[in-house]
Amino acid sequence: MKRKLLKRFFIFFIFFVSFLFIFSCVQGGKSPGFEIALSPQTINAFLKKQFPITQELKVGRLTLKDPNVASIDENEKINIGIGFEYKLPLLPAATGSILVAGGIKYDPEKKAIYLKDPEIKDFQILNKKLPSFLSSETKKILAGVVAYVFEQIPIYKFDEKSLYGRFIKDIRVENG
């Protein structure tokens, strides 16, 4: 009887130690399984293939061109500079630049990274900063076009045959 009880205790002890060992080796939290680094140059090279984009508006035509990843800010948002040309019928084209900032979201089905919640941080036309002169309606239209473009066009897409594209479930921005 004593021997049977000792045997059960020993089996329980071995099971408990094994259980403790297994779960002490599993990393907790939401830290990444592995890291990959996409340089701004890599993202720029991909974006250059996607642009220029022309959007017909109610009045005129807006062309977005020459995207350039400028930086990653303290809120872990990617800043992308974009040149634009706005053409009204019978008038010369107005050119300028927009600085767009946004987080990122990953679509595992498309294996693509998109700009999430893009916002216009800076707006220049004819080399003049004009955010104070723009009407709120003009800002909304411009922000809507930029948001629409970045919902449709990824800032980076992993190759279908790539090992990264097969296993990535989520992604995050980190400066450095």
> Is it the case that residue 28 has pLDDT exceeding 50?
no
Report the predicted TM-score, pTM, of the whole model to 2 decimal places: 0.69
Mean pLDDT of 36-60: 86
Residue type, 93: A
Would you state the torsion angle of the CA atoms of residues 136, 139, 143, 145, taken in this order, to the nearest 10 degrees? 110
CATH superfamily of 40-167: Uncharacterised protein PF07273 family, DUF1439 (3.15.10.40)
The backbone torsions φ and ψ at residue 167, rounded to the nearest 5 degrees and listed phi first, read -110, -15
For the cut 60, the answer to whether the pLDDT of residue 140 exceeds it is: yes
Q: Is the peptide bond before 52 cis (omega within 30 degrees of 0)?
A: yes
For the chain, domain boundaries: 40-167
Q: Quick count: other Cβ atoms within 10 Å of Cβ 113? A: 22
Q: What angle do CA 61, 65, 70 make, to 5 degrees?
A: 135
